[in-house]
Chain A
Amino acid sequence: MNPALWAAKTGLDAQQTRMSVTSNNLANVNTTGYKKSRAVFEDLLYQNVRQVGASTSQDTQAPTGLSLGTGVRVVATEKNYTQGSMQQTGNALDLAVSGRGFFQVLLPDGTLGYTRDGNFETNAQGELVTSSGYRVQPGISIPDGAQSVTVGKDGVVTVQLAGQSSPTQVGTIQIFDFINPAGLQPRGENMLIESAASGPAQGGTPGLNGLGMIEQGSLEASNVNVVEELVNMIETQRAYEMNSKAISTTDQMLEYVTNQL
């Protein structure tokens, strides 16, 4: 069928994808540690119908040619790693990373996941786990009978045991960073996994070598800006309408041909 129809169709497709990204952002406006995404658009290949500069006679050349664009596509969805705001919860096991870096978690399939959601709890064995029950790596065990848990900005976890005057250190929480965090692959459940684009994970002590620090008793809120997403939504809707109008206009043109001739 006519390329005019297909160019407009790619516009509808791309706007539809952008709408999915926007609604996913809006749906995650209250998700702890969520980072907003955006759709990256690129124009599709151009079809060279008539070559510019082609010879029209032995010593003259066409000053203009005709290249027809074939539409648009979404090349990527890109995560934006700006810091979300800190929400005070007062819960001793709620941790947030202030600055760069992720918590490392052991996923059920044995691979390692990375998250900025520090909404931790303890399981029946006293191990520090995420709200889905996955163990934090390297593992931390809170002994039975601990009166209070303190996590320092450098990740050192200490507990106060009943009947002891000085606190006991039970482990250290490490933070992991990537050269290109935007290249991490989202896996759902607030988890991201390493990919070839993100580079390997580099672990370290919080606060050292550019890594973020740990804030105890806080959670990092989603960095979605609701107003921005709503403006995006309006823009997407209007662009979608215009592209659908372009399809119906081209359709009417072709319909006129079949009716008249």
Chain B
Amino acid sequence: MDRFLYVSMSGAKETLRAQTVNNHNLANASTTGFRADLSAFQTRAVAGSGFASRAYATNSTTGFDQTQGALVQTGRELDVGVQGAGWIAVQGRDGREAYTRMGDLRIDASGLLLNGAGLPVLGDAGPLTVPPNASVMIGGDGTISIVPLGQGPETSALVGRIKLVNPPAENLARGDDGLFRLKDGTDAPADASVQLASGVLESSNVNVADAMVNMIELSRHFDLQVKAMRTAEENAATAAQLLKA
């Protein structure tokens, strides 16, 4: 049978993978601070005997969408959104420093500052804790100030500063847990120019219209590959018939 059957099969298989990436993005269309996954096809030529006409396609993750998601106003004092480029440093479940844009923070029973996924938020010196307070404010540069319980606003005290980083996007890779880390395994230095907005949450940056169009395109592309596989089968059947006659 003609080997173009296998070329078409790899095309169909990889298109289905691309559809998975697209469906994953759509499923996360309302996940706070989510960055859309980008994937692209690459050709892999097959060397060997015969005319070099075969090139398989492979789908690969090329990075993530860096556009800013919409900042949605919530009015909750512990909700923060990163304005423009930058990341919030958190401690991943593996204990290492990792970066996220999910800024729905809360304080647990021991005073530890956690994000919505329950990961401790890092300050300049490890996880941040916030003492019991009457009110808490997060400034544009990530400084956290509180009014201690039972005291007036004149006693406002600084308790720490959220570590904000801004490494170049090409050095960042998404881990299996959905958090971003530097590819070389080091921790990024704090960047004073990253701006936080308080009382807002950044929505997912998945462009749903784009994802829908992409979905149609991938689906049609898949049909073409299957059609080619069908043609390969018909060719083989015709050849077999000729030999029989």
Chain A residues close to B by CB (< 8 Å): 2-5, 7-8, 10-11, 14-15, 18, 40-50, 52-53, 62, 64-72, 75-76, 78, 80, 82, 100, 178-180, 182-183, 196-199, 208-210, 235-236, 238-239, 242-243, 245-246, 249-250, 252-253, 256-257, 260-261
Secondary structure at chain B's binding surface: helix, strand, loop or mixed?
mixed
* A178 closest partner in B (C-beta): B109
Q: Counting CB contacts under 8 A, is B238 at the interface?
A: no
**Whole-angstrom CA separation of A245 from B27 in the bound complex:** 11
Total A-B residue pairs with C-beta atoms closer than 8 Å?
193
Given contacts A4-B23, A210-B134, A261-B233, contact A43 B216 (CB under 8 A): no
Is B104 an interface residue when CB atoms closer than 8 A count as contact? yes
Q: For the complex, would chain A's binding face be called helix, strand, loop or mixed by DSSP majority?
A: mixed
* Contact among B29, B108, B216, B222 with A183 in the assembled complex (CB-CB below 8 Å): B108
Q: Which residues of B contact A70 (CB under 8 A)?
A: 24
Question: Does B68 touch A at the CB level, under 8 Å?
Answer: no
Residues of B contacting A256 in the complex (Cβ-Cβ under 8 angstroms): 222-223, 226
User: Is B212 interfacial (CB 8 A cutoff)?
Assistant: yes
- Complex interface: chain A residues within 8 A of B173 (CB): 52
Q: Which residues of A contact B223 (CB under 8 A)?
A: 253, 256
Report the minimum CB–CB distance from B87 to chain A (whole Å): 15
Question: By the criterion CB–CB under 8 Å, are A2 and B16 in contact?
Answer: yes
Check A8 against B27 for contact (C-beta < 8 Å): yes
Most central of B30, B40, B208, B216 by chain A CB within 10 Å: B30
Task: Say whether B28 contacts A46, CB under 8 Å.
Answer: no
B74 to chain A, nearest CB (A): 8
Nearest CB of chain A from residue B104's CB, rounded to whole Å: 6
Q: Are A2 and B20 in contact (CB under 8 A)?
A: yes
Residue on A nearest B223 in the bound complex, by CB:
A256
Q: Are A78 and B178 in contact (CB under 8 A)?
A: no
Q: Assess whether A45 is in contact with B178, with CB atoms less than 8 Å apart.
A: yes
Closest 3 pairs (CB-CB, A-B): A11-B27, A69-B24, A210-B149
